[in-house]
């Protein structure tokens, strides 16, 4: 087990030291949203370009950039998130978010009702890729907010993009 934990730690540190999609997008046209986790002092800025935003779940996040600062969990999670969602449709991102949050033991009311029981965990793990490395965070409840900050901020950005 410790071999796997070492690998996970390595993946987290790699994303922390070399964050993917770091930077800014011109806003507008990009949507810019900020998220803050006061428990830890983490800050995430998400920029997204959404193509064809009128088509709802079929709309595609064509580009994403991440800014902000904070602990290694918050920053590496946002980096992994950016790599996982870039080029994906809003519908796919919703599924991915649900898989990630369920790994973090967050079961949202309403969302769960339609997908219970979750026997698709193998598929979810495939899709999560590097994000699997954050699995250990669930053992430290106070860090879960660090790991989900980027995702919640992304959700905010998607809501904004679709409503504009």
What residue ranges bind Zn ion (CB under 5 A)? 40, 42, 71, 74, 146
Q: Which CB sits closer to Zn ion, 61 or 146?
A: 146
Q: Which CB sits closer to Zn ion, 71 or 138?
A: 71
Q: From the centroid of its chain, how far is CA 72?
A: 14
Cα distances (angstroms) measured from residue 98 to each of 23, 27, 126 = 26, 27, 14
Minimum Å distance from CB 149 to Zn ion? 7
Q: Which CB sits closer to Zn ion, 35 or 157?
A: 35
Q: Which CB sits closer to Zn ion, 40 or 138?
A: 40
Minimum Å distance from CB 61 to Zn ion? 24
Q: From the centroid of its chain, how far is CA 79?
A: 8
Q: Which CB sits closer to Zn ion, 41 or 123?
A: 41
Minimum Å distance from CB 125 to Zn ion? 24
Minimum Å distance from CB 141 to Zn ion? 12
> What's the rounded Cα separation, in Å, for the pair 43 and 60?
25
Minimum Å distance from CB 35 to Zn ion? 12
Q: From the centroid of its chain, how far is CA 83?
A: 9
Sign of CA dihedral 117, 105, 108, 101: negative
Tokens found for residue 48: 């997204």
Strand partners, 49: 63
The sheet carrying 60-69 orders its strands as: 31-37, 42-51, 60-69
């Amino acid at each position: 087990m410790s071999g796997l934990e070492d690998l996970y730690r390595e993946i987290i540190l790699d994303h922390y030291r070399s964050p993917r999609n770091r930077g800014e997008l011109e806003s507008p046209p990009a949507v810019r949203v900020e998220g803050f986790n006061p428990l830890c002092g983490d800050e995430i800025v998400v920029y997204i370009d959404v193509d064809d935003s009128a088509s709802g779940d079929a709309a595609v996040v064509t580009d994403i950039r991440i800014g902000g600062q904070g602990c290694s969990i918050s920053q590496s999670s946002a980096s992994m998130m950016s790599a996982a969602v870039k080029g994906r449709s809003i519908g796919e991102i919703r599924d991915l978010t649900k898989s990630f949050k369920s790994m973090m033991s967050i079961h949202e009311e309403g969302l769960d009702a339609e997908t219970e029981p979750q026997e698709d965990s193998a598929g979810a793990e495939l899709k999560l890729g590097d994000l699997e490395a954050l699995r250990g965070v669930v053992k430290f409840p106070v860090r879960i907010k660090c790991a989900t900050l980027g995702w919640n901020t992304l959700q905010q950005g998607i809501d904004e993009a679709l409503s504009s």
